[in-house]
Structures are given as C-alpha cells and as structure tokens.
Structure 1
C-alpha cells in the first residue's frame, strides 16, 4: 500500500483530497490538528508518533524531524542500497506529501503581533518535509497548494500515479513556495535586527496579473505584488471598471500616486509617461481637477489622473469629457460611477488613502544586479531653509514655491517646474542640461510665468537659468543651492529682484 503524509495549516479541501487518496489506495499518516480533522470526518489515519516511535515534544516543535520520516521521503526507489537500508531500519517509503506551512505572513500582518508570536510561527518541520520530498520528486509526489489537489487525484485515478512532468512541476512550486516563505521571514528578522544593508537580499513577490505585453508589444511582462506591501499602491488597488491594466498603465499610475500622496488639500495629478503634466489643488476636488486640466490641456489627453478625495458627480462630469486611461481615487460616489462607467474602457481604481503608508525601499533592476534605496519622502518642512537674496518671498510666492517643490521631486531630472499657488504652469523634464529644462517649462507656461515661481530639482551650475527665468517674468525661485557658482545665481536674482530660496536638499529622479 502506498503511503501519504498530510500536515496542513490551511485545511481547504483537505477532507475531499484525503478521501480521494484513500480511494486511490493510499494509507494516510498525519500530525496534530490535521490528524484530528481527518479522524473527526471518518478518515482512517495513522498518527506520526506511530511512524517515528517517538512522541511530539516541545509543544509540537519536534514531531516530524525523524529518520523514519525523512528516510521514507529521501530514499531512491531504484537504488538497492537505499532500499536495503529502509528494510534494515524498518522504514516505510512515503510516496506522497501534502504539507502547507505555519501562517507566518498572516501572523506578522497583525498590527499588535509580538516578536515572540511571530517567531513561534516559523515552520521548521514543514519546509524540511517539503524540501525532502521535492528533492526526491522522481519518486515522491509533493503538494503545497490546495489548487493542485484535483489535478493529482485525476492523474491517480486515470494512471495509477502522477506523471513525471507533473511531479517536477509540483516540486518546482514547492521550492518557489519555501523560498518565498523564507524570504518573508528573512525580511522580518532583518528589520527586527535593525540591519540596513544585509550581506544578501532575498525578495519575493506573488503573481498578480499576467500582462498582455510590456512597454512594447514584442516584450513579455507580468505584474507581481509584494507580500504585506503598502496598501497605498497600484499593486493593492481595486479595479472597479474598465480594461485590463497594461505595463505602462501600472508604471504611470504608480507615478501619479507617489505625487498625490504629498498633498493634504484636495489635489489632482495628471501623469503622462511617468512625468506629471499637470497638478492642481483647490478647496474642492472639482476645483483641483480643473486646475490640473488647465495646466496642460493637451498632454492630459490619454493620461492617468490621481485624486486624493472621493470623486463626486461634479468632478466625474468633467472627467468624462476627456479621454483618460485611468482614474485613481479613494472612492467614487454612486452618481460619479454611473457617469464614468458609461465609458466602456476607462479604468477606475480605488486605493486605500487612509491606512498606513509604508515607506518601502525602492528597487531598480539593472543588467546583472539591483539597486536599492529609500523612497524620496523628504519634504520642505524637514529642509534647512535659507534665503540668500535681498528680497524674501511674499506669502503668495511661498504658496507657489511649496507647490512647485512638491512636484519637482517627482519629475525626471533635469527637472524644472513653473507654478502658481494652486497649479503648475509648465514642466520641463528629463533634459540633459538645466537651462534646457527651464526653457521648456517657461515656454509651456507662457504669459502665466509672469509673477510665478520656479522650482529646480538640483542646483544651478551657472546663472543662465536665473536669467531665463527673470526674462520670462518669474519672481521667486526655489532650489537646493550648493553650487560652487551659487554667488553668480544669487547676484543675478538680486539684479532682477527675484526672491530665491535654498533648501539644501537635492531631488534627482532618474
């Protein structure tokens, strides 16, 4: 008779699966709570202590770590020496293992979890059995996912065994599963130990969506979700309506969310190709969106909109008039949904704006490696402000400077933002020199540059940007400072009566 070992925390479908194994001629060995569940449902089961000839000890910490278990899992059935050793030590082979692990991830997701509780939910015996069975998958069928129960039972019924290819697929899933399980544990323990730069970094993500293609149709792509990742994210968003998200949609939506999170008052952010094309704030969401639209009514076409308040009927009516790919918000009123869902393809996403916003580290892949850094969450309130010019900003100029400074750190470098108190007027992104970025932003702003503020993500290497700003009518500038030629820019600002603010903080974004 074939032997199956079953020990599961997630008991979904385990009764039906065990009955199917019985019908296929297996005897079942089990442990603790799983054994009780099976026995209570009338399934004959052998206790693990009958196999090991040793009781469970240390509150169940030690029960399956025994040669009678692992010898039965690891023995090669085509190796006479292995078979002889099984016989000598009275060890019966185990032909199928069905195990899933202590709920470590669910445990540490609890807001009040203690380190002691978390550590107690690190499974030792389960991963060891899974790895033993997966290593010997030529002879042992190993199952970690209830989704595979039906396929295994079908093959047993049709063939009397599981095919070699299926066993290999199941074994591969096991190693992915145990690697992911250990990755979550290692991340938790690393944080607990307050280590910032461990000697190795193991990351794990769960498949959320297979994408139609990547940046271009000839590129394959997938969308993965970080376990216990920030709920304030596209990865944890809820899609209420519209077409499936694309690779570019997801990138743009992420960029829009990172910008809108910096605003407390009602705000609207329009993004194209991961750069903001218009940002507006107001007393109401409708006013904020109107400002964002007016900031660049051309580029917003086909863009992504992120809003930080519930979308009401007034705002939805304006949104409906423009071709947009995605609208992201905390929620939508029923009336707003009725208006917007009339457009078949527009994607409507809700994101948790209320819960904790984890400042996860940002990862960027390169060929053969990975770059890791903190998110740039540095705000003006944390900066050491100095005003080197003769004139200080007025109250209105300060409002415009603060808005520009919030936006410019999200613009690809070299970056310049021209702004007023409630909206951006012009954005210059990703240029190879700073005055080039300024010329783009000032040209886009046009007459609105008169009396406006200009924000730069990094210092001015020479005074040409100040010169260009002054000629366009800019009256206030905010920049990090720190150039060896700062004095040239200060003199140029004083020459034109411009108030200039140094923050001491650079906001490069590549």
Structure 2
C-alpha cells in the first residue's frame, strides 16, 4: 500500500449534483490537470470555457444504449484501479493512462422515488451503474487514487493540490471510506425500494448522520453526560417508511438535544399519534406519566399534567394542537425539558423564549400510526418487527363478566388501552374522564404494576383499568378492592382466566378481553 502523498495529472469528473463543480474544475485546469468528463458534466464545463476531454474520445467508444454504457471500459477502470508500482507494464502495453482523481456522485435515485407517480421503469433508469463502479474502483485503490463524493470535500482536496505537497494518505483513506459509505447507502435504498418482503434474508440499511449541533458534539450527550452520542436519520423508500420522523421537526429554541431527550420525545409523540381529538401526553423516563383527551387543548394539557404532576417534573410535554398564549402561560412556571406542538403562536413563543434552556420543537400536523417496521439494536445485532398496530374498537371487545361495561366505561377503556400500549411492560393504566389516573410500568411483577397504578390514582372516584397482557393470577384483581376500579380491559388468554373472571364478579367489576397482547419491552 502506497502511503506517500500523491499528485494528480488526470481527473475524471462525472456528477449528478453539479454544485461547486465549475469552481473546482477551474482550479484543476489552473494546475495543468487534464479533465475527462461525461455527458451533462462535460457539457456544463465546456459551456464555462473549461477544457474537457469527453469520455467517448478518451475510450474511442461512443456512449450507447441511452447512456447506460459509457464509462464501463478498461481505459477507465484500468486507469483507476491499476497499482502504479505493479501494473505499469500492463497499462503501457494496453495504452491505459493513469486516472489519479475521480469526482462522482450518483444518479438521483432517492429524489426520483420520492416523486408522486414515479413508475418502476422511471426509478430503475435512475439506478447508476458506471458511477458506483468508478467510485468503488477509486476507493479500493486509495493508495494511489483520490475519490470525491462529497461537495464539502472539494475545497480540502483543492487546498492540498494548490499547496504543491500532494494529497496525503490519511485524506485519501478518509475520502475512500466516504465513497464506500456513499455507494453502500445507495444500494441499500435501491434494495429497500425493490424489496417486497418485510424480513428479507439480507437487510442492507442506510443512515445519514443528523447533525444536531456541530460535528464535534452531535448530541449534547448520551444516556449519561460522560457518554458521547449521535443520531442518524434512516433512509428508506417513501411508501415503506413511517411518515413521521422526529428529525424532521423544526427546533425553535433551547439547549442542544441529548440522547434521552430524543428517545423520550419520540415516545411522547408516538403515544400522541394514537389520537385525533385534542390531546396531551407527558412523558418521563421513556414512559407516559399523564395522558388526556379533552374538547379544548388547554384543558387536555392541564389534565395530563395534573394526572401525575410529581412525575411530570422535568419531563416531556407533547401536544397535537397548536400551542397558544394561554397554554404557554400555563407551562411557564413549570420545569420540563422539551415541548412539542404542531405549531406555536407568536404570543406563545414570546413567553417560552424566557425559558432559554427549554427545547421547543415544531412537529407540523402529526400523522396517525401506520403499520411500518420498527427495530431495536441488541449490541451489534438488530431486532425488527411490525409496529404494534392493531386498532381495537368497541366491537372487538368480548365481555366475560356478569356485568357488562357501560358506554362511558367502554370509551375510557379504549382510551386507556391506547395509552397502555406505550407503557413499558408489565404495564397497568387506570383512567377516568379520558385522562390517566395512575400508570404502573416496567415492573417484573404485574401485581406490583397494578399496585403502583392504584397508588398513583384517586381511589375515591370510579375509573377503568387497562393491562397490556393477561392477569396470571386473581391476586391482581384482589388488589383492586376499594380501589374505585369498575371495569377492566385486558387481552385474556391465561389458563387462569376463569379465576380472574370470578374475582371480578365478586367485586362487581366489568371486564372485557381484547384478544390482543400489547407488550412494550424496548
């Protein structure tokens, strides 16, 4: 491997995104570097008076097959791939000059498939073949060749060339690494677009670093201040992706986001997307602690916060209606980390700006939940599954107790069921008047989760209870005596279901089965 600085005598320029290319090419020409180019890139440079050798003149083979074949030629690949200290004789005998610099970015496949109405034929025509071949050839031969895929790197390479010291090995290696990432991400997106299977045998993934700050401090920190962290934005075909990304939200103010901020905020918005009515979700340590629906957004906010104001301290508040002056005024004296809403009035922002450290995120209108694929890393490995997307309506409920629930109880049970799906298992949620009363989650014992939820509830008023999985024993029901719980929604399916039903009948508690479990372990 050659590790010495290299000079450039000949460069191949073939780009889809031509931003900054003319200025870079002018520097190359000023240094006496010969430029080979293709199609639209050559025409652009020629129109600016820059001397260019068209690739068909270089290979003596014209572009053909609607441009599908133009750079796949030994004069190109050999000139890039050849090792200068081992293959000089081969190159000379076949009249292949060396190509020392390759500047290439690929056909705009991503932009093409994002367009509404794009056909399969149109998408396929934007699958670049020659470009990846040139990039991978140059990247493989970084001992001798410099490869550029990122416009931001033009100036770095130009400075190295102008200095007369050549392009250092460390820079060539870094640029080669970028090129492999570029082609890998490109191929991963094509695979995702063409693939019809949820869980293919091989799963190439593509993520772009999302710079939530400067390049040295991409997130404020990880789960703890001593841990560095970054966030990457997933790239996938539009019709196979969740229509919502937290990274698309506009950050209006506040300190830099941390790893936990992003995770908790996503959890709050994920819960919020269950509802079309004015709603508010308060999250603390990755779990909802207060959720409410109301006719007016301000009422939903107040009720969600007061559902567990102690836990809400330092949490995340998410709204699905615009935040106005009255809502901002209510929140002003309260300490919390992040506030999200579809939009904010000027009057609201005037109040919120006084809380300089508060992160304020504008989400835009939130889409409802979709049946997309979600994942979780376990070390180096990735677990994938379909989103817990199993809508439950009143018609899906099976009454199993002597007493059937009232219409109001059913409404509150369905509300509580939507919330319990977003609480870490084992999960129990109590609710009344479309507002959570108590939430017990993340417990290794379901009876402990039940006791925690009841402890946090006002037991002097009637309420319903939702459980994310079946009750394994009647002790969970026995713990509800004098609790105020009048109705229960749970999946059912335990071998002791009948014991649990008997316990409910003894306490005159109505109970329904959903037939669907909703664990959340991640």
TM-score (norm: length of structure 1): 0.96
Question: For 1:475, what is the secondary structure of its paired residue?
Answer: strand
Q: CA deviation at 1:231?
A: 4.9
Structure 1 counterpart of 2:502: 491
Tell me the alpha carbon deviations over residues 177-229 of structure 1, each in whole angstroms, 9 at most, x when there is no partner.
11111111111111xxx212211111111111312321112222111111255
User: Is the counterpart of residue 30 in structure 1 residue 37 in structure 2?
Assistant: yes
Q: 1:213 aligns with which of 221, 224, 242?
A: 221
1:12 aligns with 2:19: yes
Post-superposition CA distance 1:253-294 (Å, at most 9, x none): 010011000011000000001100101111111000011011
Three-state SS of the structure 1 residue aligned to 2:226 is: coil
The separation in 1 between residues aligned to 2:93 and 2:172, in whole angstroms, is: 28
Q: How does 1:135-214 map to 2 (within 5 A)?
A: 135-190=140-195, 194-209=196-211, 210-214=218-222
Distance apart, 1:356 and its partner CA: 8.0
Please say if residues 454 and 469 of structure 1, whose CA atoms lie closer than 8 Å, have aligned partners that are also in contact: no
Aligned twin of 1:99:
104
Displacement of 1:160 after TM fit?
4.5
**Partner Cα distance (1:150, 1:305) in 2:** 43
Shift of 1:399: 1.8
How far is 1:446 from its partner?
3.1
Aligned to 1:85: 90
Is 2:467 the partner of 1:456?
yes
Spell out, residue by residue over 1:294-347, the C-alpha distance to the aligned partner (whole angstroms, 9 max, x if none): 100111110001110111111111111211100111111111111111211101
Aligned with 1:469: secondary structure?
Answer: coil
C-alpha change, 1:384 and 1:402, in structure 2 (3 Å) is closer
After the TM superposition, which residues 220-369 of structure 1 pair with which residues of structure 2 at under 5 Å, given as runs? 220-228=228-236, 230-354=242-366, 359-369=371-381
* Cα distance in 2, alignment partners of residues 164 and 125 from structure 1: 25
1:231–1:352 CA contact under 8 A, matched in 2: no
| Partner SS, residue 489 of structure 1 | helix
> How far apart, CA to CA, are the structure 2 residues paired with 1:140 and 1:504?
62
* Residues 462-501 of structure 1 mapped to structure 2, 5 A cutoff: 462-501=473-512
Once the two structures are superposed, residues 32-69 of structure 1 have per-residue CA deviations (whole angstroms, 9 ceiling, x without a partner) of 00000000000010010011111100110000000010
Structure 2 distance, partners of 1:371, 1:436, is 28
Match of 1:417 among 395, 414, 429: 429
Once the two structures are TM-superposed, the CA of residue 233 in structure 1 deviates from its matched residue by 2.6
8 Å Cα contact 1:326/1:347 also seen in 2: yes
> Where has structure 1 moved over 3 Å in runs of 4 or more?
228-231, 354-360
Q: Tell me, what secondary structure is at the counterpart of 2:106?
A: coil
* Rounded Cα–Cα distance in structure 1 between residues aligned with 2:20 and 2:243: 29
CA distance in 1, matches of 2:76, 2:209: 33
Asked if the contact 1:205–1:225 (Cα under 8 Å) also holds between the matched residues in 2, the reply is yes
2:514 matched to 1:507?
A: no
Distance across 2 between alignment mates of 1:178 and 1:303:
41
CA distance in 1 between counterparts of 2:23 and 2:455 reads 69
| Distance across 2 between alignment mates of 1:492 and 1:45 | 86
Cα deviation for residue 509 of structure 1 reads: 0.8
Quote how far apart the aligned CAs of 1:355 are. 5.7
| Displacement after TM superposition at 1:230 (Å) | 3.8
Verify the 8 A CA contact 2:103 2:149 in the aligned structure 1: yes
Q: Which residue of 1 aligns with 2:46?
A: 39
Q: CA deviation at 1:490?
A: 0.8
Cα distance in 1 for partners of 2:394, 2:464 equals: 20
TM-score by length of 2: 0.94
Q: Which segment drifts farther, 469-478 or 433-442?
A: 469-478
Structure 1 Cα separation of the partners of residues 245 and 148 of structure 2: 32
Deviation at 1:466, TM superposition (A): 1.4
The 1:383–1:20 alpha-carbon spacing in structure 2 relative to 1, beyond 3 Å, is farther
3-state SS in 1 of match to 2:65: coil
Structure 1 unaligned spans of 5+: none
Unmatched segments (≥5 aa) in structure 2: 1-7, 212-217
Task: Give 2:214's aligned residue.
Answer: none
The answer to whether the Cα contact below 8 Å between 1:403 and 1:421 also exists between their aligned partners in 2 is no
Contact 2:488 2:512 in 1 (8 A): yes
